[in-house]
Structure 1
């Protein structure tokens, strides 16, 4: 009995141990699950905080060249390197496009997805350039965004990077030789024609001058035929400069053969007409000379003392002479004139003179001699003509429309300048996202999107390559980058902890780079937030000679206060936050001087802030700038989406885009 009870007690103990172990395992699993959930929530919270502070996706794009020179028939390869990084738990979706701006067509478009990182290389071969000389524009763009998920926080705002590539094309050496040969041939043959045509016009003028004196049988028809040949040859010649400008040398070679044939025919006809006309004029002048000699003889006889019979007879001869002279002058045909002149010359005055010799009476023929016949003096000397083919114009095509490459004084380049980066720990590349949509939209209104520019951007070999199209170009720029030169290579360096005055000095270098690339002496700056203070300080330090317009967007012209100032120093760069504080020495000095002309100040307002209103960061009264053109745009703030930055979203604020466009066009 006792033994049985003892055995029962042992079984109870064993069951208790089993129950305890089971509960312990459950608790351990619960603790582990709780820890995992807490860790997951912590990770999510951490990633959300990083998202709020600006850590979304960072994208960079580089090319081995941004300017290419090609002779006709040559090829060149453009190599691109794309890098990007995002939240390690995010998927990334990217769209890239290589776009022919000149032809207004896409060369290649691609869409791809990846996780966390982007590492991609692209290569494009530029070939089949037009014959002649000119410039083509290409742009590679890539836009990447993160796909929202449980552990992937994103605003859904994509990041865009672009590179504008200029390609200058020209003739190859063989084509240049052909071009020079054709130029000499065309110019020499054209001068032959123009000289012959000038001679014909001179001949035509002389014929018109003496049309009442002399006509040549069949000459008018031959002259009209020559004029017709001249018109046809002139029209044919007029087509050649167009082909020359197109540098269609094959077509020109064929045209020259036809031109030579036409010119030879015309020259032959023109020369024959000249010879016929000159021969007829010579005959006419010979007749005029005979008549003049007859007139002289009559004048001598008229002065002689004659008897009455002879005097009357001489008077009759003079009357007949006068009538024939009148007939000669009224007739225009050379044959008729010759017959009349023959009749006059047929009078034997010598016999008459002999008959009156020794006459003792003293009477004279009382009759006046009429003459008025003059020889024709020709002036067929024509001025030497010139014909010069102008050097073919360089052709620049943009969005499918072509024109001669030339600079336009009013095509001011536009620089977009970002504002303060709220988180000093994120990459400076993130700041370049500002204005990307505005830059893209402005291209629809004729502003070429040139992507980004920085102090490390390689300069093109010649100044003004981006200004040849005559159209304005836009750049997104950042003062958060500097360059470090090492062994002849410029290495970009991120500098996000400088004062605003230091940034303004960097802005000067950026402006000079833009002026170099476009050959424009003045630029337009559109600056957001702290970027506006950078631009204003630049103007205070260096003047406004390089600034056509300055457009400020939500700029703390009188500083930031309250929570904006408090949290700025917690996450942002100390010197930037110090300078933007409403009572800073920097702002005191900046606002001590009168505002320069040409400043347009756009103020977003409508968010309640510290017993006042503003854009969620800057109070309305602190954004206002005296002596500037101030514009108010109403909006709202929601959560972390503050009007301060949201105003740049032109899909939500069309009035902002319209205002920017009006200012640019005004």
Structure 2
């Protein structure tokens, strides 16, 4: 018996030593702890039974063989009690673990979240999902992949995930786009524990994890060729229309001495067509910049046919216009020559017959000058000039005949020949050129069936970082702490204008990741934790859970979080919403690194002046000692934190009231006198406490306190609207 007990004691000590030295899984922890408890019960029950049997054997003076049988019986009773107690203890232990936060934690990881592809290519999305829960539980999960550009559900899988069997999935996303730009996809994992004999769950709401994937699309070679051809066509068409428009504007249909009314009417018709074409030309540029190349190709073809017709009509008008001017100038030049040829007639001697002919011709000549001065067509002037030329030729023939036949010529003309003082119209052909520049289209971003130019503005849509509070259980996953703001982030997305990007882990990002989450017209929301540190080595980076550091260390990690969120969103500032100890971390971050990266902060239930009483006494029962000691109202940390003036940025401080303990009012954890922050906009919110159901914890849950959510939503909102819709 002593050997068995000694072995059991030694075995129990070894188990306790192993548990203290190594971090086992929850399954191993539960079994080992149950074994230790069972060994203790076995030793106690076996010893008690053996002692009872020994006393009876002394009184009855039993034989040694009977005593051995009773010892075996004692060991059997102890073993039965040990097994029964182990089962009971195991159940009790699992209940306690569940209540302390190990109900159901879900981890969702994606190998790569930012892709750059050519249209027509595919990308592989590699997803890994794990659950952390009671080792005897399995989680019923729904995994979805949704295209956020049009809210189309691409994939949906319903699966069971166990602690021992993580989920690995691979999805393919293909690009059927004809534009360049960005599309966002959202991976969502909903999980619920399936209750069983040894599986307990106290959370009716599913565990939710989301990740955002961005895919940048570039045109493929064929699309790039089509785009460049369309661009050249638009440039050529704009140049041609520009030349026609300017030449048409140079026409002067009010020239003296010429009637160009018929050409004016033609020019009005052409100009109306030109106006319509120019309006359509503007739409071509818009289609090009919005990357609607399919419609652009059709419109370019149709409009080009109209421009061909316009060009033909213009060339005809141009020919007629300059033809009329040239014809007028030709008639004028010939008239001037004729004047020089007939001016001698004023001193010439005529016969009776030739005198009458000369008078008639000179009168016609002088009348033709009036015709030239009148507004009539150049063709009419030419017609009359030709008639005048025939009369001149006839007169010249008669005069020559009289001269040959020596006919008596003693009569003078006594009629003046009018001078030709009409101006010649200059013909100027202008060579118009157009340096037409058509800019490159901006990438197109689409979100919830609305497309627009991707945003490249560091001051628009500042991202929201939710910072959780103190974890009362040091051993549970940091993701449980980030869960505290999951409901608020999800509600913001449902209300519109926000995009929940899920949990944010501080990490390193390459150049291609810069600004990839800040190009859509929506405010990015992330839930961050300062309980995870990223260690960077030559072989890469890995995350290390560290929940026992100082608040100064957490502030340093928050600085890295802020820097990385700014980097991946391309924004120059962020907005922080912090709860409980997260507010102290935020204030310490400002004290150490300044407020230049912050637009505003919202604080919820913050122990700005520390904690005391039962909250301080029980703080470190499960949590980290250092955190609790620094939150002591008399600690050097609290005194130092409040010795520095608040930064010159908006600070909204929500103070919980309605729970009374230790002679003070507050939210059940933080007294209102401690939460009040001088220099901030203090907003008091009412709630109630019930045993261990503290208002302090419920403050960040929109379903429980929508009035607090509405205050937070109002304070984080920035009244700026992006209007560049493609």
**One fold, TM greater than 0.5?**
yes
Alignment CA distance shift 1:457-1:430 (3 Å): farther
SS of aligned partner of 1:652: coil
User: What are the Cα deviations for residues 15-67 of structure 1, in whole angstroms up to 9, with x where unaligned?
Assistant: xxxxxxxxxxx999999998777666544543444344333222212111111
Q: Which residue number corresponds to residue 505 of structure 2? A: 454
User: What are the Cα deviations for residues 276-334 of structure 1, in whole angstroms up to 9, with x where unaligned?
Assistant: 322221111122334556778999999x9x9xxxxxxx999999877654443233122
Q: Which of the numbers 364, 375, 378 marks the counterpart of 1:331?
A: 375
Q: How does 1:81-96 map to 2 (within 5 A)?
A: 81-96=128-143
Alignment CA distance shift 1:121-1:620 (3 Å): same
2:577 paired with 1:526: yes
2:620 paired with 1:569: yes
Of the two structures, which has the highest relative contact order with CA contacts closer than 8 Å and spacing of 6 or more?
1
Offset of 1:77 from its aligned partner?
0.9
User: What are the Cα deviations for residues 372-401 of structure 1, in whole angstroms up to 9, with x where unaligned?
Assistant: 632222344152124444323311001111
Q: Contact 1:142 / 1:162 at 8 angstroms: preserved in 2?
A: yes
Q: Which residue number corresponds to residue 661 of structure 1? A: 713
Offset of 1:443 from its aligned partner?
1.1
Q: Which residue number corresponds to residue 674 of structure 2? A: 622
Offset of 1:75 from its aligned partner?
0.9
2:265 paired with 1:213: no
Using the alignment, how far apart are the partners of 1:366 and 1:590 within structure 2?
Answer: 117
Q: Contact 1:148 / 1:154 at 8 angstroms: preserved in 2?
A: no
User: What are the Cα deviations for residues 338-375 of structure 1, in whole angstroms up to 9, with x where unaligned?
Assistant: 355567776899999xx9xxxxxxxxx99997876322
Using the alignment, how far apart are the partners of 1:242 and 1:195 within structure 2?
Answer: 18
Q: Which residue number corresponds to residue 510 of structure 1? A: 561
Using the alignment, how far apart are the partners of 2:359 and 2:314 within structure 1?
Answer: 48
Using the alignment, how far apart are the partners of 2:305 and 2:155 within structure 1?
Answer: 50
Alignment CA distance shift 1:99-1:264 (3 Å): closer
Using the alignment, how far apart are the partners of 1:242 and 1:129 within structure 2?
Answer: 22
Between stretches 459-468 and 545-554, larger displacement belongs to 459-468
Root-mean-square deviation (CA, aligned residues, Å) is 4.3
Using the alignment, how far apart are the partners of 1:269 and 1:599 within structure 2?
Answer: 70
Q: Which residue number corresponds to residue 202 of structure 1? A: 247
Q: Contact 1:147 / 1:156 at 8 angstroms: preserved in 2?
A: no
Using the alignment, how far apart are the partners of 1:623 and 1:459 within structure 2?
Answer: 40
Offset of 1:156 from its aligned partner?
3.0
In structure 1, list runs of 5 or more residues that go unmatched: 1-25, 307-313, 356-364
Alignment CA distance shift 1:240-1:481 (3 Å): same
Q: Which residue number corresponds to residue 468 of structure 1? A: 519
Offset of 1:454 from its aligned partner?
1.4
2:445 paired with 1:401: no
Using the alignment, how far apart are the partners of 2:511 and 2:592 within structure 1?
Answer: 28
Q: Which of the numbers 75, 78, 81 marks the counterpart of 2:122?
A: 75
SS of aligned partner of 2:512: coil
Q: Which residue number corresponds to residue 40 of structure 2? A: none
SS of aligned partner of 2:620: helix
Alignment CA distance shift 1:106-1:491 (3 Å): same
Q: Which residue number corresponds to residue 172 of structure 2? A: 125
Q: Which residue number corresponds to residue 493 of structure 1? A: 544
Q: Which of the numbers 207, 223, 232 marks the counterpart of 1:175?
A: 223
Using the alignment, how far apart are the partners of 1:380 and 1:632 within structure 2?
Answer: 81
2:659 paired with 1:607: yes
In structure 2, list runs of 5 or more residues that go unmatched: 1-72, 350-357, 404-413, 719-726
Offset of 1:108 from its aligned partner?
2.4
Using the alignment, how far apart are the partners of 2:151 and 2:86 within structure 1?
Answer: 52
Q: Which residue number corresponds to residue 483 of structure 2? A: 433
Between stretches 445-454 and 508-517, larger displacement belongs to 445-454
Using the alignment, how far apart are the partners of 2:596 and 2:254 within structure 1?
Answer: 65
Using the alignment, how far apart are the partners of 2:695 and 2:96 within structure 1?
Answer: 20
Q: Contact 1:328 / 1:340 at 8 angstroms: preserved in 2?
A: no
Offset of 1:478 from its aligned partner?
0.7
Alignment CA distance shift 1:165-1:633 (3 Å): same
Between stretches 377-386 and 67-76, larger displacement belongs to 377-386
Offset of 1:485 from its aligned partner?
2.9
Q: Which residue number corresponds to residue 59 of structure 1? A: 106
Between stretches 617-626 and 483-492, larger displacement belongs to 483-492
Q: Which residue number corresponds to residue 288 of structure 1? A: 332
Using the alignment, how far apart are the partners of 1:285 and 1:458 within structure 2?
Answer: 77
Q: Contact 1:135 / 1:394 at 8 angstroms: preserved in 2?
A: yes
SS of aligned partner of 1:639: coil
Using the alignment, how far apart are the partners of 1:370 and 1:643 within structure 2?
Answer: 111
2:545 paired with 1:477: no
Q: Which residue number corresponds to residue 110 of structure 1? A: 157
Using the alignment, how far apart are the partners of 2:712 and 2:683 within structure 1?
Answer: 11
Alignment CA distance shift 1:443-1:118 (3 Å): farther
Using the alignment, how far apart are the partners of 1:633 and 1:251 within structure 2?
Answer: 56
User: What are the Cα deviations for residues 190-210 of structure 1, in whole angstroms up to 9, with x where unaligned?
Assistant: 256325523xx5246424242
Using the alignment, how far apart are the partners of 1:236 and 1:271 within structure 2?
Answer: 21
2:394 paired with 1:378: no
Alignment CA distance shift 1:188-1:441 (3 Å): closer
2:594 paired with 1:543: yes
Q: Which residue number corresponds to residue 142 of structure 1? A: 189
Between stretches 27-36 and 547-556, larger displacement belongs to 27-36
Q: Which residue number corresponds to residue 411 of structure 1? A: 461
User: What are the Cα deviations for residues 461-480 of structure 1, in whole angstroms up to 9, with x where unaligned?
Assistant: 23111111132111111111
Alignment CA distance shift 1:317-1:395 (3 Å): same
Offset of 1:578 from its aligned partner?
1.2
Q: Contact 1:202 / 1:382 at 8 angstroms: preserved in 2?
A: no
Alignment CA distance shift 1:617-1:203 (3 Å): closer
User: What are the Cα deviations for residues 540-583 of structure 1, in whole angstroms up to 9, with x where unaligned?
Assistant: 11111000011111111111111111111222111111111111
Offset of 1:497 from its aligned partner?
0.8
User: What are the Cα deviations for residues 500-559 of structure 1, in whole angstroms up to 9, with x where unaligned?
Assistant: 011101111111111110110100011111111111111111111000011111111111
Alignment CA distance shift 1:46-1:256 (3 Å): closer
Scaled by the length of structure 1, the TM-score of the pair is: 0.83
SS of aligned partner of 1:338: helix
SS of aligned partner of 1:208: coil
Offset of 1:603 from its aligned partner?
1.6
Q: Contact 1:533 / 1:556 at 8 angstroms: preserved in 2?
A: yes
Using the alignment, how far apart are the partners of 1:502 and 1:300 within structure 2?
Answer: 116
Q: Which residue number corresponds to residue 159 of structure 1? A: 207
